[in-house]
Structure 1
Amino acid sequence: MNLVNNIIQTAKKVLKDEADAIARLADFIDESFKSCVESILQIKGRVVVTGVGKSANIATKIVATLNSTGTPALFMHAADAIHGDLGMIQPEDFVVCISKSGNTPEVKVLVPLLKRKGTRLAALVSNTDSYLAQHADFVLNAFVEREACPNNLAPTTSTTAALALGDALAVCLLEARGFSSSDFAVLHPGGSLGKRLYLKVDDIYGQNEAPCVNKSATLKEIIIEISSKRLGATAVVSDDSKDLIGIITDGDLRRMLNKYDSTEGIQALNIMTPSPLTIETDEYAVEALALMQERSITQLIVTKSGRYKGFVHLHDLLKEGLV
């Protein structure tokens, strides 16, 4: 039991320590951070993010975030840079170097080479008195008092802080560029995330039948239409203009049986739900999902400029991975 309690307490302490460290970073956002963002916005090249060890791992994630939010970026390992990879950096690029101490040997070799190329340099460091910070054009202060590791050795809190500061940098650039959800969709076409951003109702409803009866349809005609089209519902349209006037679901049929002693003479007009909830073909599929979840329903009538087109079903959205 003591071992279990110790595990739980240790895990909670790590999370609290790292959360507190990230919260304190807000106090370090200053004019240097602002100037760094403004400088990146002006470059014609890419943001090159570099580091050694665990900082290199954080750098790769920051590069991925920058690329996915509209800022072209690439990763360069600091050790590889001084053995040939420095050639990937062009004069119009901007370098962000991540290092907790700011004094690692690879960084000390790399910085003069970058300055010689005339490359703008930002230091993302915990030690603002370090060699890296003193020779950088901009300092992104990621100071942490200690690591979450009980020995204060394993990079834990420091890497989390660096990652969070990198996110702050990426989001500031995103907002400054006016990067929209549509832009995001262009860069994320794959997977459920991409589909949420680009898939429209028009892309999926056409694979279904379009059950439809007029308002004077008999009960038999209604049941046949619902059963044959296998969507659990049918649209009801006016006899003359074919305008959408209602919907009948299999639930409406069950309620009808409780309401009427005799089903003779019952028409669609008697049991339909008027003015049904609809969604336009040019709406995003995720909006259809939100409406279904909000109303606890499994299908929506699809319209185009108010005219009946068909149905989109919850199963369609499941199949596309939106749920």
Structure 2
Amino acid sequence: MNILEASNVTKNYAAHKALNDVSISIPKQSIFGLLGPNGAGKTTLIRIINQIIMADEGDIVINGEKLHPKHIQVIGYLPEERGLYKKMKVGEQLMYLAQLKGLSTGEARKRIKHWLEKLGLTDWAGKKVEDLSKGMAQKIQFIATVLHEPELLILDEPFSGFDPVNANLIKDEIFELREKGATVIFSTHRMESVEQLCDDIALINKSQKILDGTKKDIKNSFKAHKYSVSYKGELNGLSTMFNVLESQQNDGLSESLIQARNGESPNELLKDLIQTVEVHSFVEVVPSINDIFIEIVEGGKS
């Protein structure tokens, strides 16, 4: 079941088309990577979902209902441009934002206490935001995003400004929120985070969606029938069906990258190799999300 479906969404700004007939489906309780280079249209789509701006054409459906002002209560949005009130105290600010999302004072106080303890910020509740480090302020903004326990979390570059320790802390929280039933739209330029976090992805480039699906299926579709082989011996007599792209020596073993010219099976390559060398390892090379991103954006497969 999908928590959100965007159908044929188009948005124009004067002569600029920010989104052109974009359709995506986001499965419930998934972490969905919304990818694309700067200016591709990701932020425009996020703002339409949040009802900050309206689409010129197309529809957004949440939980089977056409997008409506009431859906703001089921969304938690962490924008790339952070927006805390610097002169307010941390606890007061979190209480204010929680009440805007409909929480009672008592419930908000309980949840604020829980999250401040969880992220190691209890001693900072009475401090002004301007007294916090950038990383601490980022944690407070994250807390403000999740306090009302939204069904749909939209996180735009959530790890910006975090050191590796705190980035891992927030990653763990994202996984836990997903396990408890939340769906996460995760927009980022950091492909290593996509590899670690996302179940499904969509790539927007030049205002159009050009790729979407499960991360596993997309990576499999970009395989190029390449194999990394470690071996002892001389690689002579390999069938012309296979092309050695590069070779090197490493700790007494030879390592070669070999491509099957016409998509021959790995069994065929392994049979050829066993006849000529002593095979120590044999691994199919699967492209990373970063490799795929660069290939598509720079004009490769689409």
Question: Which structure has the bigger radius of gyration?
Answer: 1
Higher helix share: 1
Shorter-chain TM-score tier: under 0.3
With structure 1 as the length reference, what TM-score do the two structures score? 0.23
The TM-score with structure 2 as length reference comes to: 0.24
Higher relative contact order (CA 8 A, sep 6+): 2
